[in-house]
Amino acid sequence: MSEAKSEDTVAEGGGVQPPRSITIRRPDDFHLHLRGGAVLEAVLPSTAAQFARAMIMPNLAPPVTTVAAANAYREKILSARPEGSDFQPLMSCYLTDATSPDEIERGYVNDAWIAAKLYPAGATTNAHHGVTDLPALAPVLERMERIGMPLLVHGEATDPAVDIFDREAVFMEQSLLPLLARHPGLKVVIEHITTAETADIVRAHASRVGGTITPHHLMINRTSLFQGGLRPHLYCLPVAKRERHRLALRKAATSGEGCFFAGTDSAPHFKSAKESACGCAGVFVGATALQCYAQVFDEEDALGRLEGFASLNGARFYGLQSNDGTVTLERTPCTAPPVISVGDQEILVFRGGEPLPWSVKGAPR
Ligand SMILES: NC(=O)N[C@@H](CC(=O)O)C(=O)O
Ligand SMILES: [Zn+2]
Ligand SMILES: [Zn+2]
């Protein structure tokens, strides 16, 4: 495990004061929704200011299922970058019942994408084209296993009879563990893990299974969704769970174990669509992600492990070089904007408009 450089200062009494700043290698966000068009233009600068690369989620409408669509989307992302940005999108493709193993391999060998995303049909936002019959996906998964291409999983059961707070647990037991057994060489990332038990499943298969953890699942529990009234902007899928799970996620993220890494699941939706009789799922955390991760690691007295989680573990899992360059986080309070505007619409920023104890040096405060 690498310990990042931090500026410890020796207090007059001889004790060590907590560091004022920490410098880590530039991090990667291994789970990001950028959408398209004006939303892409509006949200990309937030991520590009913090992260060198991001795994781009393919749940657009229509979803990214072909090499041509992935290449076109990558070009749109590259041209939406702010002036001077070297941000690199890492592309993924969206698996459907009709996905062909040949198209998956073609995209992988031609660098159109480096991973494929499994959405159980209907499990989350724009998942209605997802997979209805997992065992029938075997030829695709066998091919991925053979070529070493990781499978990224939204791990929730879709049976409406399953309690929403149990959907991740049920998927893990009924679908993910059997899938891991059927495909013993397949690399899998369980995305946005939300339970103590899922963290243990990741650990138990750590040689080939990773787990991404979002900033918000480290900060909120299911009670937060109802604090003082209904909080639609904290609603995402998988929904936040009980406090014991949040504590287990904080332990996993800050443990130094290489199987856990940053994936923000920053998922922009318009305020009007969130504050609705049927509000949609997703938290826009792109503008405050690194500040929030730093706060959590600081609270857990684990700032020295932030670099592993944010900048090294994920790259290692994917067989990528870690990034050149560094980013410095300072213990200087900052307040992110409460909203990002897109034309006459707004997207609320997670923890925007309130003081955060950490700021990203050089990023707008
Ligand atoms: N996390 C969410 O609640 N929403 C994501 C989809 C996803 O990652 O499940 C979105 O695309 O809005
Ligand atoms: Zn998801
Ligand atoms: Zn997501």
The model's pLDDT over 236-245, given as tens digits with 9 standing for 90+, comes to 999 999 999 9
Ligand 3 ion: Cβ-proximal residues, 5 Å cutoff: 265
- Which of 59, 126, 190, 274 is the best mutation target for the ligand 1 pocket, counting ligand atoms within 8 Å of the beta carbon and taking the most? 59
Distances (CA, A) of 164 to 169, 227, 228, 329: 10, 19, 21, 36
Cα separation, 193 vs 137, whole angstroms = 23
Cα separation, 261 vs 52, whole angstroms = 15
Query: Nearest Cα to 327, choosing from 80, 53, 56?
Result: 53
ipTM value of the model? 0.99
Residue 229, pLDDT > 90, answer: yes
Reported as type and span, the H/E element at residue 147 is helix 138-147
Cα separation, 86 vs 99, whole angstroms = 32
CB of 124 closer than 6 A to ligand 1? yes
The model's pLDDT over 26-77, given as tens digits with 9 standing for 90+, comes to 999 999 999 999 999 999 999 999 999 999 999 999 999 999 999 999 999 9
Identity of the residue numbered 155: G
The model's pLDDT over 295-309, given as tens digits with 9 standing for 90+, comes to 999 999 999 999 999
Q: Per the annotation, does 225 bind a ligand?
A: no
CB 236 within 8 A of CB 268: no
Q: Domain 27-323 is in which class?
A: alpha beta
Token pair of 295, please?
């706060």
**Protein residue with its CA nearest to atom 8 in ligand 1:** 265
Q: What is the pLDDT of residue 17?
A: 83
Q: What is the pLDDT of residue 143?
A: 98
Query: Nearest Cα to 265, choosing from 248, 240, 245, 286?
Result: 286
| Domain extent listing, the chain | 27-323
Active-site annotation holds for 324:
no
- Find residue 54's DSSP bridge partners: 29, 89
Query: Nearest Cα to 215, choosing from 349, 350, 123?
Result: 350
Ligand 2 ion: Cβ-proximal residues, 5 Å cutoff: 124, 154
CB 32 within 8 A of CB 266: yes
